[in-house]
Chains A and B, each alone.
Chain A
């Protein structure tokens, strides 16, 4: 019965879609299901080969990225002192937009699938690392005491207790990261691959082929959602339940003075520079394209270069900021509104969770087609990229409001708005800020990708141009600047988060 109803809704949706496409046929913005079907039937072979290529690259990226995350998580558990440094490095790498690291990887790897797989891995590792760490820590102190009572150390505890306890969380991480691997692989293909869905998307965009753009976005979205669904099902089968996970880096522990924090930042920067220089020297990478920290410094110190870089960055931030704020506000706002209508909320949740799984970048060309190549189009892509994760996280946050607290309000006859304002919204704040932080790199990724693909402005297009004109000093400088900006904004959001949570959820702030 439920399947029949779903089928009915599906057919209804397709009919409306087709109708809209027919009505707006002059606008060349919307392709209907029939147009997509015609496009698929005429390009079955090409689409199948491209889909297979992208899927294989995404799968390898998924495997390597997640293996890396599991390994990092295990090291952090075995050597707790390494945690702050490793997490800071992991965050820094995560903050570099994929579209920025893509051209560099292309230069380093040359042709082939290296960049696609690496970007797939880079797109997934941080999400999995965070969820895995939450899982590894989800053990009661008595369990770890039990291990110590029998004289067992960190390794034994990791293998016997933490690894198994983390499984449900690991599956959540794997599930969320599956679409991201697809996104990474496609971005890798944008940066100069020979085959794959990303290559076809670029071609379709440049040729203003609406039917092809719609088909490719649909195929990419369906595959990513299928991977998300399959992993969710597998997790349910293996561990039996799905924990609610707040995607947030673990809070720093212990009191810190500003000087200690500054020293730590200095140490991390020093470490990054050493690793950067050493990796280039050890592999004897050609200085023509593999720029060292010194090269970038010298380049950026030239006033003309700096001015080009900063003006492009200014354009990018001007486009990213409104989209970031709009995405967060819409996500949180809708989540709050839906609390007032529990039935609507129950219906909206699965749709939002499913749409969160869609790698938004694959639909960016459609949004740009619909909203234009200017501020509005870019803002919409950024907002949509951020909206779904924020909405889902805020919904989960609202549901975490302790029932007893709500009961206390109700026992005094408080109305829905009162409960919402005084109990539920404060309970949502940790989830909201966790989303706001994770959305910083996502917003920069979205804006630079749209710039790269469509708008012709900002640091995204500067990177595209410098990559094609072999101006590698500028390319590396763009990457460094983006990483610094993303990490700094992430840090600022984290600072605001701590200040707000200290008031509304002091137990969350260590």
Chain B
């Protein structure tokens, strides 16, 4: 697996008369995790969709390494977890998770390990309709990880997950994607989660989205809930919050 930089150059997007994303230039380093935070409806998801190649920017370009997003998608180098789990209702949990590898044309290794990791052991044969909202969301996260993508896009993936599981996933998932060298872009409404999971936090303005603060998260030590209680982490959280309050 190759690590891939993400580079947006003057990428903007409008829907009809509404400008959703103002010309945006960002460079995200390969293997790093970047969190996008900002008020609801500011255009975070649209930025993610442009990076995924699901929306073409009206101006500027989006490149993943030396390739456009769709080329990376075609070779199975992209994966995304949506706000909605979007599982196929006729497939079991295991088959839904394996779908990620199947579509990326990669062997579905470690399905069981991933099922255990996201806390769905014992539910592998269940259909999505038999799971709670949080369990479905965890299956969707596992689906995005199974193909070991170069670029992993997470659109508020933990929103529907209960507090305890969210805390555990926040600790256990990042080492997995970091060890695989994935470049991760994460949308979250939790400032603490942004600080805990990422190497960099981009704070966005209300629509049309533009970057109002670019905060490097330079924390040492294991990334777990205890880290958030350190002075450095608290200071970073305050910095992100005050940037958000300023928008």
Contacts and interface: CB of A to CB of B under 8 A. Distances in A.
Q: Which 3 A-B pairs have the closest CB atoms?
A: A151-B74, A151-B73, A142-B86
Interface residues of A, number: 15
B84 A152 contact: no
Contacts of A151: 70-76, 78
Contacts of A161: 88
Contact of A150 (B49, B76, B90, B153): B76
Contact of A142 (B79, B84, B100, B153): B84
Given A143-B88, A151-B71, 18 more contacts: A140-B84, A140-B86, A142-B82, A142-B84, A145-B86, A146-B80, A148-B53, A149-B73, A149-B78, A149-B79, A150-B73, A150-B78, A150-B100, A150-B104, A151-B78, A160-B99, A160-B103, A161-B88
A121 B80 CA distance: 44
B77 to A, nearest CB: 9
Contact of B54 (A143, A148, A152, A156): A148
B52 interface: yes
A328 B53 CA distance: 49
Nearest to B129: A240
23 contacts: A142-B82, A142-B84, A145-B52, A146-B82, A146-B103, A148-B52, A148-B53, A148-B54, A149-B53, A149-B54, A149-B80, A150-B73, A150-B103, A150-B104, A150-B147, A151-B70, A151-B71, A151-B74, A151-B76, A152-B103, A160-B99, A160-B103, A164-B88
A344 B79 CA distance: 53
A164 B82 CA distance: 21
A269 B74 CA distance: 41
Interface string A293-334: 000000000000000000000000000000000000000000
User: Chain B contact residues (Cβ within 8 angstroms of A): what range?
Assistant: 20 to 34
Contacts of B49: 145
Nearest to A167: B90
Nearest to B79: A149
A145 B144 CA distance: 13
Interface of B: 49, 52-54, 70-76, 78-80, 82, 84, 86, 88, 90, 99-100, 103-104, 147, 153
A145 B72 CA distance: 15
Contacts of A149: 52-54, 73, 78-80, 153
B104 A145 contact: no
Nearest to B77: A151
Contacts of A160: 99, 103
A147 interface: yes
Nearest to A239: B90
A145 B73 CA distance: 11
Contacts of B84: 140, 142
B76 A143 contact: no
Contacts of A145: 49, 52, 54, 80, 82, 86
A161 B96 CA distance: 12
A356 B198 CA distance: 61
Nearest to B143: A146
Contacts, number: 53
A147 B73 CA distance: 9
A154 to B, nearest CB: 14
A140 B80 CA distance: 15
A143 B80 CA distance: 11
Contacts of A152: 103
A161 B100 CA distance: 13
Contacts of A147: 103
Contacts of B70: 151
Contacts of B76: 150-151
Nearest to A152: B103
Contacts of A140: 84, 86
Interface in A131-153: 140, 142-143, 145-152
B90 A164 contact: yes
A150 B70 CA distance: 8
A262 to B, nearest CB: 27
A304 B19 CA distance: 65
Contacts of B86: 140, 142-143, 145-146
A143 B74 CA distance: 17
Contacts of A142: 82, 84, 86
Nearest to B89: A165
Contacts of A156: 103
Contacts of A164: 88, 90
Nearest to A149: B80
A146 B74 CA distance: 12
Contacts of B54: 145, 148-149
A164 B71 CA distance: 27
A143 B143 CA distance: 13
Contacts of A148: 52-54, 73
B246 to A, nearest CB: 33
A48 B160 CA distance: 62
Contacts of A143: 86, 88
A76 B204 CA distance: 41
A161 B90 CA distance: 10
Contacts of B82: 142, 145-146
B232 to A, nearest CB: 35
A142 B49 CA distance: 11
Contacts of B75: 151
B75 to A, nearest CB: 7
A101 B72 CA distance: 53
Contacts of B78: 149-151
A152 B153 CA distance: 17
B47 to A, nearest CB: 15
Nearest to B100: A150
B16 to A, nearest CB: 13
A142 B80 CA distance: 10
A161 B87 CA distance: 11
A142 to B, nearest CB: 4
